[in-house]
Amino acid sequence: MSLQCGIVGLPNVGKSTLFNAISTGKAEAANYPFCTIEPNVGVVTVPDERLDVLTKLVNPQKVIPTIIEFVDIAGLVKGASQGAGLGNKFLANIREVDAIVHVVRCFADDNVVHVEGRVDPVFDKEIIDAELQLKDLESIEKKIQKTEKGARAGDAKAKAELEWLKKYKSTLEEGKNARAVEIDPETRESVIGDLQLLTAKPVLYVANVDEGSMLTGNEYSEKLREAVKHEGADVIVLCAAIESQISEIEDPEEHEMFLSEYGLAESGLSKLIKASYALLNLITYFTAGVKEVRAWTIVKGWKAPQAAGVIHSDFEKGFIRAEVIKIADYEQYKTEPAVKEAGKMAVEGKEYVVADGDIMHFRFNV
C-alpha cells in the first residue's frame, strides 16, 4: 500500500529540515520562504522492534520492512486560499495526501526569519487552519449549489446529502475543521468523498522546539498542545535540527550513544513515523521464512482475505484459510514447528480480522 503524509506549515518552521531527517530524499533547507516549490517525496521505513525479533529468530536471507511516504509541501502564507504565495500549488498538493503532519515553530531564534514576525504557535496553526477551511468552504458551497437542484426536484438522496453539506458549511464558517463533523464513514464518503476536503484529513502536530526543550517541551509546545486537545490530535515534540544530525549517524552503536547523550530512549523521528503510521489507521502483519521476513501494511479492521490480497490478488481470490501465529508465542517457542507442536498456531477463515503483529501463512487455490 502506498499511503502519504504531507508535511505542512508556514515557511521557516523546519519542514524541510524535518523531511531531510526522516526520508531518503533531500529537500533544500533555506532561511527564506518557498525554498520548497515542487513537493519532495521520501520513502521511509517504519521502525518496528517486532521485525528485529523475527529476524533474529528466523535468520532469513532478506528482510523487508514496511514503509510510509512523506511529502514535503511548499510553505503556506496568509491568503493562500486566494492564491497568495504558492497557495494554489500548496493546496493542490495537500489534497493528494492521505494525512497531514503539521509542523509548528515552537522555538525562538533571531537568526531564523519568522514569516509573521513573531513566534506564536497557536496563531501559526490558526493561519493554516483558516486557509484550508476557506478552500473547503469554497468546495462545499459549489456542491451545495449542485445538490439543491436535485433536492428541489424531490430527490430523497439529494435532500439527505444537502442537510449534511449544510452542516459542513456551518462548521467551516464557525472556524472549525471538517473533521469535527460527527458522521459515519459510509455517509461521509457519499457526501464529501469526491471533494477531498483538506480539513477532513487526519492530522498530527509536530512541535519543533529548541535543543534544550527536546525532552520536556516548552511554553510554546504547551500552548500548542492546549490549543489542539479538543481535536483529539497527537502532538510530537522534537528538535528538527538535532534529529537531522541523528539521522546522519549510520553506525548503530554511535547512534545509540548520541541518543543516550541527549537522554532519549528513541529518536523523535521514530516516534513521528510510528505516530504517522497509526494516524493513517494502519497496522502490520508479518510473513516469516528462511528466504524472507517481511512486514506488510494493511488497514486496521481488514479480514484475512483482504490482507492476503496485499501480497497478490490471487491470494485473495483463491483464499482458503490463514495460519496465524502470535509473535509472543513465536518468541517463546523460537521456531514455527515448536509453535505448532505447542498448539499455538491458529487456523482462521475468511471472517478473521487480522491483528497487529500477526505472523501469517496463507493457503489459497486459484
What residues are designated binding site? 12-17
Q: By C-alpha distance, which of 322, 312, 324 is closest to 363? A: 322
Domain boundaries, the chain: 4-46+67-117+202-279, 130-199, 301-364
**Three-state DSSP class for residue 132:** helix
Q: What angle do CA 194, 199, 205 make, to 5 degrees?
A: 140
What residues are designated binding site for ATP? 12-17
Helix, strand, coil fractions of the chain, as percent rounded to 5:
45, 20, 35
Question: Residue 34 CB: number of other CB atoms within 10 A?
Answer: 15
pLDDT by residue for the chain (366 residues), tens digit each?
A: 668 899 988 888 888 889 888 875 444 444 433 344 455 788 888 889 999 999 999 999 999 999 888 888 866 556 544 554 444 566 777 888 999 999 999 998 877 656 566 789 999 999 989 988 998 999 999 999 999 999 999 999 999 999 999 999 999 999 999 999 999 999 999 999 999 999 999 999 999 999 999 999 999 999 999 999 988 899 999 999 999 898 888 888 998 999 999 999 889 989 999 999 999 999 999 999 999 999 999 999 999 999 999 999 999 999 999 999 999 999 999 999 999 999 999 999 999 999 999 999 999 997
pLDDT of residue 82: 57
314: part of which helix (H) or strand (E)?
helix 313-317
Side by side, which strands form the sheet with 346-348?
63-64, 293-299, 282-288, 359-364, 319-325, 346-348
* Candidates 2.60.120.620, 3.10.20.30, 3.20.20.80, 3.30.700.30; CATH matching 301-364: 3.10.20.30
pLDDT of residue 20: 85
pLDDT of residue 29: 44
Q: Give burial (CB, 10 Å; 0-12/13-18/19+) of 194.
A: exposed
CA torsion through residues 267, 268, 273, 274, sign: positive
pLDDT of residue 39: 58
Write a three-state SS string for 185-249.
HHHHHHHHCCCCCHHHCCEEEEEEECHHHCCCCCHHHHHHHHHHHHHCCCEEEECHHHHHHHHCC
Q: Which CATH number applies to 4-46+67-117+202-279?
A: 3.40.50.300
**Three-state DSSP class for residue 131:** helix
Fold of 130-199: DNA polymerase; domain 1 (1.10.150)
